[in-house]
């Protein structure tokens, strides 16, 4: 039992809907004249709002919104590595990814679950190749990510990677390139970029992809694919994501420039 | 005579924070330009998170708190079969300040959560959260996530909590003959707040100066913090004074007066954010 928090009842549930036929899974409506809901083409992402330096206590920070997905990211460090973790000639990255308890349709626990731990790992792996860790011996850079609202889980992860890379740059950590990440979901086997919750349903055969890339160098640093698709669809999806990453990169550069101009 | 050492103001602040601070207070001003009894600019935005039943974001200066409310259903307790639950929890994670480490909530988070819970007993109508006595009741989870900790997190949390509760809507629920609770599609029921209670925090510096709304760089320099919670009828609901510093009766009275003025400001903010929706 957790004595450090205010306790509710042992178990609580979401009530059933009044009408039995109200199906929980909403299937994406078909394309209308080649456009999705909101007038987006299949490959379009949602508009991005990205702002750096909002968390004044952190060494660097970024806040990103993509549609209703809202992610806050703070970077602290470089800090001295703890003795127990041993000597390391190279610097290390540490990441904690957390959904706020109210961020998803179903309430999340305060403790991090396995999905949040996996996403933390993915963020570290996606960002590590971009950072000059040999410049930071015996140090650790901490990245903390909180999802305030989840509107598409794959898009949350992509937004988190983008925000974390921007926050690292804001903190002045030496990097060889920024890392931009894009996500897409396969709707009836057709890749559609940056899908919100309603479009990306969990029916059998659903598939999604998150791709992180260093746009200036053209190197893919991480690729996470889930679900059954064939190779032709996959390669089309990867190319689509790479195109989107270049656009996201422009947004990242713009917000970093704007912030550093405002500071001077 | 000029000193052989010349510090920039930024270095001086880091090396000798209390001396730096005293120099400002001697001139009757605080380092961020505020007067002693002045609160920082407060911004309130309610209903910004669609996955929650109710939500609010509060910024007091740089301190940012997000409150999200989620409602679920559970069996009432045996000793209060006709009452619902209200579970406020504050998350002061490592994201919001370098002072906090990953892991379970620290002392400050636990203290703030407990104070919010105590205050909530005064204004939550628990009996209205009951769906069917002895069988089902609403559990209102209110989780407050601090995104930026720049001091005075309690005031921000209480304001965010009230704004989110005002914003929250529950579906109409009923219990069927099979004992299963079903809820309608429309979120129509508001949560009753019997009386709004808001907090105002002050710091005492060297037993003399009374500073409203201390920020993160001021908090460690203060002898004590005084939090006063008042309602719309100007009744006191809680007064917390932390740390050991001395506080005279006149100072305490001044805190209460200022807290009442602060209450009118904040309740106007609450009204206007509710009117926006």
Return the domain boundaries, chain B. 39-275
Consecutive H or E run containing A100: none
DSSP structure string for A120-160: HHHHHHHHGGGB-GGGSTTEEEEEEEEEEE-S-HHHHHHHH
Over residues B253-258, the mean pLDDT reads: 96
pLDDT over 70 (residue B67): yes
pLDDT for position A256: 96
Chain B residues within an 8 Å CB radius of A20: none
Q: Which two tokens stand for residue A24?
A: 């929980």
Side by side, the strands of the sheet bearing A60-66 are A48-52, A60-66, A69-80, A139-149, A92-99
Q: Give the C-alpha separation, A258 to A263, whole Å.
A: 9
Contact call for residues B169 and B187 (beta carbons, < 8 A): yes
Contacts of A233 (CB under 8 A, 6+ apart): A186, A189, A190, A191
For residue range B132-166, list pLDDT tens digits in order: 999 999 999 999 999 999 999 999 999 999 999 99
ipTM attached to this prediction: 0.92
Please give the DSSP secondary-structure letter assigned to residue A44. P
What digits encode the pLDDT tens for the residues A3-62? 899 999 999 999 888 765 545 545 556 677 778 877 888 888 899 999 999 999 999 999
A196 or A4: which carries more pLDDT confidence?
A: A4
pLDDT digits (tens, 9 = 90+) for A78-114: 999 887 778 888 999 999 999 999 999 999 999 999 9
Q: What is the helix, strand, coil percentage profile of chain B, to 5? A: 30, 35, 35
Q: Burial, A168: exposed, middle or buried (Cβ in 10 Å; 0-12, 13-18, 19+)?
A: buried
Token duo for residue B16? 């000798």
Residue B216, token pair as written in the block? 């993160």
Q: What percent of chain A has pLDDT over 70?
A: 92
Local structure of B210: helix, strand or coil: strand
Rg of chain A, C-alpha, whole Å: 19
Name residues 137-176 of chain A within 8 A of B (Cβ).
Answer: 142, 144-146, 148-151
From B88, B97, B102, residue closest to A96, measured CB to CB = B102
**pLDDT tens track for B189-227:** 999 999 999 999 999 998 888 999 999 999 999 999 999
CA atoms within 13 A on the CB side of B179: 4
Q: Which two tokens stand for residue B95?
A: 């994201």
Rounded to the nearest angstrom, the minimum Cα separation between B72 and chain A is: 5
Q: Does domain B39-275 have CATH number 3.30.230.70?
A: yes
Check residues A193 and B52 and name the one with the higher pLDDT.
B52
Quote the CA–CA distance of B156 and B150 in Å, as a whole number: 11
Strands B169-175 and B181-190: antiparallel
DSSP state of A201: -
CA B18, B19, B22, B24 dihedral sign is negative
Q: Does B19 touch chain A (CB under 8 A)?
A: no
State percent of chain B over pLDDT 90. Answer: 79
Hey, what domains does chain A have and what are their CATH numbers?
Answer: 40-263 (3.30.230.70)
Cα separation, A181 vs A159, in Å, equals 7
Burial A129-145 (b: 16+ CB within 10 A, else e): bbbebeebebbbbbbbb
Place of tokens 């609010």: B56
- The H-or-E segment that residue B249 falls in is helix B249-276
What is the pLDDT, as a whole number, of residue A201?
54
Alpha carbon distance A72, A166 (integer Å): 11
Chains A, B: CB contacts within 8 A come to 142
| Distance between CA atoms of residues A121 and A141, nearest Å | 14
Beta strands in B119-272 (DSSP E): 130-132, 136-148, 169-175, 181-190, 197-205, 209-212, 224-231, 236-241
Q: Does the CB of A107 have a partner CB in chain B at under 8 Å?
A: yes
Residues B167-183 pLDDT 10s: 999 999 989 888 888 88
Question: Cβ of A70 and B87 within 8 Å?
Answer: no
Give the separation between CA B131 and CA B172, rounded to whole angstroms: 9
Band of the pLDDT at B4, cuts 50, 70, 90? low
B50, B70, B183 member nearest A15 (Cβ)? B183
Residue B87's pLDDT band, with cuts at 50, 70 and 90, is: very high
Q: Phi-psi region for residue B132, left (φ > 0), alpha (ψ -120 to 50) or beta? A: beta
Q: What pLDDT is attached to residue A28?
A: 57
Could B148 and A54 be called an inter-chain contact, meaning their C-beta atoms sit closer than 8 Å? Answer: yes
Q: What is the mean pLDDT of the segment spanning B9-18? A: 87
Strand bridging mode A180-187 / A48-52: unpaired
A3 interface with B at CB cutoff 8 Å: no
- B49 and A144 within 8 Å at the Cβ level: the answer is no
In tens, the pLDDT along A123-179 reads: 999 999 999 999 999 999 999 999 999 998 999 999 999 999 999 999 999 999 999
Q: Where does the pLDDT of residue B100 fall: very low under 50, low under 70, confident under 90, or very high at 90 and above?
A: very high
Pairing type for strands B181-190 and A190-193 reads: unpaired
pLDDT score at A30: 65
Confidence of residue A187 (pLDDT cuts 50, 70, 90): confident
Q: Which of A56, A104, A149 sits opposite B62 (nearest CB)?
A: A56
d(CA B79, CA A15): 23
Per-residue model confidence (pLDDT) at position A35 = 80
- Across the interface, whether the CB atoms of B85 and A8 are under 8 A apart is answered yes
What's the whole-number mean pLDDT along residues A213-221? 95
Q: Is A11 on the interface with B (CB under 8 A)?
A: yes
- B220 at the A interface (CB within 8 A)? no
B96 and chain A in contact, CB less than 8 A: yes
């Amino acid at each position: 039992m957790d004595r450090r928090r205010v306790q509710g009842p042992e178990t609580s549930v979401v009530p059933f809907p009044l009408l039995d036929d109200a199906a929980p899974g909403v299937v994406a409506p078909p394309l209308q004249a080649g456009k999705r809901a909101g007038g987006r083409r299949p490959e379009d992402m949602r508009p991005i709002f990205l702002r750096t330096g909002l968390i004044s206590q952190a060494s660097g920070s970024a806040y990103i919104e993509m549609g209703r997905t809202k992610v806050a990211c703070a970077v602290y460090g470089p800090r001295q590595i703890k003795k127990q973790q041993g000597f390391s000639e190279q610097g290390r990255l540490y990441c904690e990814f957390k959904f706020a308890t109210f961020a998803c349709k179903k309430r999340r626990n305060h403790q991090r679950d396995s999905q949040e731990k996996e996403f933390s790992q993915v963020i570290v792996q996606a960002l590590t190749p971009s950072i000059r860790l040999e410049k930071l011996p015996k140090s650790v850079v901490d990245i903390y990510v909180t999802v305030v609202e989840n509107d598409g889980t794959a898009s949350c992860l992509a937004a988190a990677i983008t925000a974390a890379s921007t926050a690292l740059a804001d903190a002045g950590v030496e990097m060889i390139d920024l890392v931009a990440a894009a996500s897409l979901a396969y709707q009836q086997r057709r890749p559609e970029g940056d899908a919100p919750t309603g479009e990306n349903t969990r029916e059998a055969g659903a598939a999604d992809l998150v791709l992180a890339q260093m746009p200036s160098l053209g190197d893919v640093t991480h690729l996470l694919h889930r679900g059954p698709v064939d190779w032709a669809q996959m390669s089309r999806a990867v190319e689509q994501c790479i195109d989107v990453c270049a656009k996201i990169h422009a947004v990242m550069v713009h917000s970093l420039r704007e912030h550093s101009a405002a500071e001077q | 005579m000029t000193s052989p050492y010349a510090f920039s103001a930024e270095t001086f602040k880091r090396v000798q924070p209390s001396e730096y601070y005293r120099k400002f207070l001697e001139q009757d001003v605080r380092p961020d330009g505020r007067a002693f009894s002045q609160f920082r600019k407060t911004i309130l935005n309610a209903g910004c998170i669609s996955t929650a039943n109710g939500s609010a974001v509060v910024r007091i200066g740089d301190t940012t708190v997000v409150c999200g409310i989620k409602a679920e259903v559970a069996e009432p307790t045996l000793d209060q079969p006709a009452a619902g639950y209200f579970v406020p929890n504050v998350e002061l994670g490592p994201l919001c300040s370098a002072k906090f480490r990953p892991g379970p909530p620290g002392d400050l988070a636990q203290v703030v959560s407990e104070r919010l819970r105590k205050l909530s007993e005064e204004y939550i109508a628990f009996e209205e959260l009951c769906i069917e006595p002895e069988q089902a009741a609403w559990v209102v989870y209110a989780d407050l996530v601090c995104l930026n900790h720049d001091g005075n997190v309690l005031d921000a949390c209480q304001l965010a909590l009230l704004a989110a509760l005002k914003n929250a809507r529950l579906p109409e629920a009923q219990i069927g003959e099979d004992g299963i609770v079903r809820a309608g599609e429309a979120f129509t029921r508001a949560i009753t707040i019997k009386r709004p209670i808001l907090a105002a925090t002050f710091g005492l510096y060297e037993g003399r100066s009374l500073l409203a709304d201390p920020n993160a760089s001021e908090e460690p320099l203060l002898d004590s913090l005084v939090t006063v919670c008042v309602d719309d009828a100007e009744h006191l609901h809680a007064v917390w004074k932390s740390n050991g510093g001395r506080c005279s009766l006149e100072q305490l009275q001044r805190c209460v007066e200022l807290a009442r003025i602060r209450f009118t400001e904040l309740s106007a903010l609450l009204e206007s954010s509710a009117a926006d929706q």
